Amino acid sequence: MSHPSHFEPLAASISLIPRDCIFAGLGTRRSVHAESSGIKVAARFMIFALLCLLTAGAAAQNPPMTGDPYRPRGNPKSPDGEHEWAVRTTDPVHYELVHVPDGEVMLTVASYYPQANSSNIRYAKAYGVFWNKDGSVVALDELNRRRAGRLYFIILSGGTVRKIRSESILPLPSYADEGRVVVDPGWVSETKIRVRQALETKSGEFVSKFFTIDFAIPDDLKVQPAG
């Protein structure tokens, strides 16, 4: 029986990295193919792939592993600049999705801690916003504070918006006492996002499971286990 390579977990992670990120560090494809040493090519590939992976992970990690855990993550503005999220600190604390050209509020989402005080406002401002490439789907990811907070997916189509709570896509397993779904590390293609389901089992064990959610057909989402 063959034994798995030590690089298999790394390879699985690298497979999630957009090629543009990797080749931006390596140079042009032509220069890569012109490299005389295959070992050098492989080494450079691994180094820049790791840098891309670490950069993506640092941007989406919830809660952040380093630095200020209350810093916002992602980008509140859509790729085309048409829509933007804002935190409203009046009671109740909430998030608004605004259509930038006319200022219309398209969607209001309540904060997990809605009472307007300094602690809850600080929490709300630590949210993460992750748009897919064409701005048709956005993940609103509240700070994961001991499995508190929520992850929402909002689908934008033809001037309408549809909100989906992550729990309706990935329900809490029967063996878990509590859990939370977070973005980790984010969009891996134009329609697929990878998430982590952080669980505390009824026996007190902490478990993390990874999944990809495919929004290619919004009315028929596809969920697959991920490495």
Dump pLDDT digits (tens) for 174-184: 999 999 999 99
pLDDT on residue 63 = 75
Domain positions in the chain are 8-60, 73-226
pLDDT on residue 48 = 42
d(CA 209, CA 205): 13
pLDDT on residue 50 = 42
Below-50 pLDDT ranges, the chain: 1-36, 41-43, 45-58
Dump pLDDT digits (tens) for 65-113: 788 989 999 999 999 999 999 999 999 999 999 999 999 999 999 999 9
Q: Read off the pTM.
A: 0.76
Q: Give me the helix-helix angle, 19-26 and 38-60, nearest 10°.
A: 130
Neighbours of 162 (CB within 10 A): 13
Angle 155-156-162 (CA atoms, 0-180°, nearest 5)? 50
What does DSSP say about strands 176-187 and 160-165: parallel, antiparallel, or unpaired? unpaired
